[in-house]
Amino acid sequence: MLKNTGQGVQRMTMIVGGRGKSFTFKFPVIPDARGNLTFVEGNRHVPFELNRVYYLYDVPSGAVRGGHAHRDLEQVLISLSGSFDVSVDNGVTRERYSLNRSHIGLYIGPMVWREMENFSSNAICLVLASKIYDESDYFRDYDQFIKELADQQ
Ligand code: T46
């Protein structure tokens, strides 16, 4: 739910993440004559404690990133500059998001396969993550990911 407070758009209710989920949502925007300011607080604007931030930039034309899923990690992707596309697949549904606004986040929950492509030349993808880097949390093989989904049923 969004409410315009006169100081920009503020989100009033906590978003609810979870396994297999992906969706876009809006962060607060504080606009004034000097430009816009957006802020993110863990466990308030994202549904997890913030434990890691990283960013992708200088991505060459035609490059494809991602190609994996996470067992437990929750993340939010934001396009700070330029644009890129994110395809997500939870084994049941596939969706594609185009990110090109700095106040829009794409939540990706655990057990969602993601691929990122069509990065514009000036694209910067900021990622907010619930946990520190752990290679053992990755599924980097799609068939293994699908098998794990079936095993968890
Ligand atoms: C995701 C998408 C959106 C680290 O050492 N620490 C880190 O925090 C990260 C994210 C990566 N790395 C190392 C691991 C690899 O040797 O950096 C190298 C490149 O990582 P990767 O190929 O996983 O990068 P992407 O862009 O394909 O995927 C990354 C995240 O790994 C992934 O969780 O969802 O961005």
C-alpha triplet 145, 148, 152: angle, nearest 5°:
140
Pair type for strands 94-99 and 84-89: antiparallel
At which residue do the structure tokens 């876009």 appear?
24
Tell me: pLDDT of 7 over 60. Answer: no
What are 103-112's pLDDT values in tens digits?
Answer: 999 999 999 9
In the chain the domains, ranked by start, together with CATH numbers, are 2-152 (2.60.120.10)
Mind telling me the catalytic residues?
Answer: 68
CB–CB of 55/93 below 8 Å? no
pLDDT tens figures, 17-74: 999 999 999 999 999 999 999 999 999 999 999 999 999 999 999 999 999 999 999 9
Q: How many CA atoms lie within 13 A of 37 on its CB side?
A: 6
From the alpha carbon of 114, which atom of ligand 1 is closest?
34
* Ligand 1 neighbours by CB, cut-off 6 Å: 52, 54, 56, 65-66, 75, 77, 114, 116, 127, 133
Mean pLDDT of the chain: 93
Q: Which strand (E) or helix (H) includes residue 49? A: none
Percent of the chain surpassing pLDDT 90: 89
Q: Kindly indicate the confidence band of residue 153, based on its pLDDT and cuts at 50, 70 and 90.
A: confident
Is the pLDDT at 140 greater than 80, yes or no?
yes
**57 close to 95: Cβ distance less than 8 angstroms:** no
Q: Quick one: which of 67, 76, 80, 89 has its CA closest to 130?
A: 76
Q: How far apart are CA 40 and CA 71, in angstroms?
A: 24
Best mutation site among 50, 52, 53, 54 for ligand 1 pocket (most ligand atoms within 8 Å of CB): 54
